[in-house]
Amino acid sequence: MIKKKRLVDLFMELVTIDSETKKERKMADQLKTELENLGLEVHEDNAGENIGGNAGNVIGVLKGKVDTPSLLLCAHMDRVSPGKGIEPVLKDGVITSKGDTVLAADDIAGVAAILEALWVIKENNLEHGEIKVLFTVAEEGGLHGVKNVNPEEIRADYGFCYDSSGDVGTIVVQGPAQYRFEAIVKGKAAHAGINPSAGINAIKVASLAISEMKLGQIDEETTANIGVIKGGQATNIVPDRVELLGEARSRNRKKLEAQVAHMRDILERAAAKFGAEVEINTQLMYPSFFFSEEDPVVIIAKEAAKSIGIETNLVPSGGGSDANILNGYGIPTINLGIGMEKVHSTEEFITVENLVKAAEYTVAIIQMVTK
């Protein structure tokens, strides 16, 4: 029932619309029109105002059978840089960019799959429960759009995000929580040539701490990283201030708390050793989620895949997505593989086969909960 040409044409059109993070205005306007043409009740929230962007989340509601579980279908509108002036190229069943930008299959493939599935439902008059669609802004770099949505506007029995690599049939059932780790090391300035012993070198303190921290792949569920270091003024001044920015992630909350405590302890010990001061701030950026094969949302996904001959692969993830926040809102949500590959690079691509399968899978999910 999927109209392949319509789907591919839609994808190729949408990726050409500039829609970098917090600059999704044109994309939001286009998607509101697309959803209205499909008969959904559509509105845009005020997330853009809250995050300093020029557009809010787009929310659509398609009423359905009241005795059928409701669904939330979610994808994000923004893409990473370089994401302006994208020129998609279709060759031998594979869609790429011209080579100087990303393709933005992350996450326009998800957007297009959802829209095509809704067209199939409409054109074939297929029965369905209430379907809510959430197209978020500013997912990249912080999940800012979904964090600023009103949960009551998107409340549903089951949620499906379309934002994972891997062939269609990949189901992300575990996602980590993440802490942001920020620290300021305060030493003491002095002339580096005349009287260096009068100073306290903040870079040295930070270096010692980082060298003793457990970073990288801590275990199969936990990672940590110090990714940004800022400090120093000149070579002849003992640096008195260094800023560190890092993170820790884990699918196990106890392990995550332990890792953050470890990073804090190491930094405080290094500061005390040299007589420096340190300010540390941590912030939980998003919660973890975990589903087993017996959870209803996973059963729906597996049975829907089986009904159209797609093999499923249940996997954990080391990254965050809108699904983390939606689960935090109490909406059981899994993240689906949609076939996008080499995302966040100019080599990003997706096959037409996976694009079509993603739309077919969405129709199958909608039909599965209607049975």
Q: What is the pLDDT of residues 257-278, one digit of tens each?
A: 999 999 999 999 999 999 999 9
Domain boundary among 224, 253, 286: 286
The pLDDT score that the predictor gives to residue 109 is 98
Among residues 78, 106, 107, 240, the one annotated as catalytic is 78
Q: What is the average pLDDT across 176-195?
A: 97
- State the amino acid at position 341 in one-letter form: E
The pLDDT score that the predictor gives to residue 156 is 98
Are both 334 and 280 inside the same structural domain?
A: no
User: Around Cβ 85, how many Cβ atoms within 10 Å?
Assistant: 11
Q: 78 catalytic, yes or no? A: yes
Are both 66 and 142 inside the same structural domain?
A: yes
Q: Using CB atoms within 10 Å of the CB of residue 77, give its burial: 0 to 12 exposed, 13 to 18 middle, 19+ buried.
A: buried
CA of 359: how far to CAs of 55, 115, 146, 191, in Å? Answer: 26, 8, 23, 65
Are both 335 and 300 inside the same structural domain?
A: yes
pLDDT above 90 as % of the chain: 98
Query: What is the SS3 string spanning the chain?
Result: CCCHHHHHHHHHHHHCCCCECCCCHHHHHHHHHHHHHCCCEEEECCHHHHHCCCCCCEEEEECCECCCCCEEEEEECCECCCCCCCCEEEECCEEEECCCCCCCHHHHHHHHHHHHHHHHHHHCCCCCECEEEEEECCCCCCCHHHHCCCHHHCCCCEEEEEEEECCCCEEEEEECEEEEEEEEEECECCECCCCHHHCECHHHHHHHHHHHCCCEEEECCEEEEEEEEEECCCCCECCCEEEEEEEEEECCHHHHHHHHHHHHHHHHHHHHHHCCEEEEEEEEEECCEECCCCCHHHHHHHHHHHHCCCCCEEEECCCCCHHHHHHHCCCCEEEEEEEEECCCCCCCEEEHHHHHHHHHHHHHHHHHHHC
Are both 17 and 130 inside the same structural domain?
A: yes
Rounded Cα gap, residues 69 and 57, in angstroms? 23
Are both 135 and 162 inside the same structural domain?
A: yes
- The two tokens of residue 130 are 């209430």
The single residue listed with the structure tokens 């100073």 is: 199
- The two tokens of residue 170 are 């990949």
* 222, 318 Cβ separation under 8 angstroms: no
**What is the domain extent for residue 267?**
177-286
The single residue listed with the structure tokens 């829209």 is: 115
According to DSSP, the residues that pair with 94 across neighbouring strands are 91, 351
Domain boundary among 260, 286, 312: 286
According to DSSP, the residues that pair with 62 across neighbouring strands are 131
pLDDT digits (tens, 9 = 90+) for 120-158: 999 999 999 999 999 999 999 899 999 999 999 999 999
Q: What is the average pLDDT across 220-241?
A: 97
Are both 147 and 276 inside the same structural domain?
A: no
pLDDT digits (tens, 9 = 90+) for 317-365: 998 999 999 999 999 999 999 999 999 999 999 999 999 999 999 999 9
Are both 144 and 253 inside the same structural domain?
A: no
What is the CATH classification number for the domain harbouring 99?
A: 3.40.630.10
Instruction: Report whether 344 belongs to an annotated binding site.
Output: yes
The pTM assigned to this predicted structure is 0.92
Are both 112 and 43 inside the same structural domain?
A: yes
Are both 117 and 231 inside the same structural domain?
A: no
Are both 25 and 165 inside the same structural domain?
A: yes
Q: 24 catalytic, yes or no? A: no
* 188, 238 Cβ separation under 8 angstroms: yes
Number of folded domains in the chain? 2
Are both 215 and 70 inside the same structural domain?
A: no
Are both 151 and 67 inside the same structural domain?
A: yes
Q: How confident is the model at residue 1 (pLDDT cuts 50, 70, 90)?
A: confident
Domain boundary among 286, 319, 352: 286
According to DSSP, the residues that pair with 271 across neighbouring strands are none
- CB neighbours of 183 closer than 8 A, spacing ≥ 6? 243, 244, 267, 278, 279, 280, 281
pLDDT digits (tens, 9 = 90+) for 265-315: 999 999 999 999 999 999 999 999 999 999 999 999 999 999 999 999 999
Q: How confident is the model at residue 91 (pLDDT cuts 50, 70, 90)?
A: very high
What is the CATH classification number for the domain harbouring 194?
A: 3.30.70.360
